[in-house]
């Protein structure tokens, strides 16, 4: 059983560009959450998708948007990249019942130059 997978593993972009990151959830999971982890810090919640809709959002600007597909996979889009968007982006999947325990993927490391 594959766990949570993310692509790409690494990405380099320049300021002002746009980026799309992808996530496939663990088998049996229907909810995907995205987190941003800056160097030396804990992950910060960006938003969560369930039934193809954004259900909850953290304190991130509208430049951060997402999508969930019928197969539960998800994308995170960031527009007008800033240097400060350089971080590890983590995807977590969960099942919307019980503890809703979140399992994380390996992350995508984004560097904005």
Contacts with other proteins by CB under 8 A lie at: 4, 6, 31, 33, 35, 40-45, 48, 50, 55-56, 58, 90, 92, 94, 99-107, 109
Distance from C-alpha of 51 to C-alpha of 113, rounded to nearest angstrom? 35
CB of 40 to other proteins, least distance (A): 8
Q: How far apart are CA 35 and CA 9, in angstroms?
A: 15
Give the whole-angstrom CA distance, residue 113 versus residue 44.
Answer: 22
Q: How far is the CB of 6 from other proteins (least distance, A)?
A: 8
Q: Which is nearer to other proteins, 27 or 41 (CB)?
A: 41
């Amino acid at each position: 059983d594959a766990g949570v997978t993310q692509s790409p593993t690494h990405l380099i972009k320049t300021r002002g560009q746009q980026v799309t990151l992808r996530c496939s959830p663990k088998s049996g999971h229907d909810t995907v959450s995205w987190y941003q982890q800056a160097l030396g810090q804990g992950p910060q919640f960006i938003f969560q998708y369930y039934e193809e809709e954004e259900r909850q959002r953290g304190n991130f600007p509208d430049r951060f948007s997402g999508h969930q597909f019928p197969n539960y996979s998800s994308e995170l889009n960031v527009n007008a990249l800033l240097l400060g968007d350089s971080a590890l982006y983590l995807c977590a999947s969960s099942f919307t019942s019980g503890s809703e325990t979140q399992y994380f993927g390996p992350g995508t490391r984004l560097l904005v130059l």
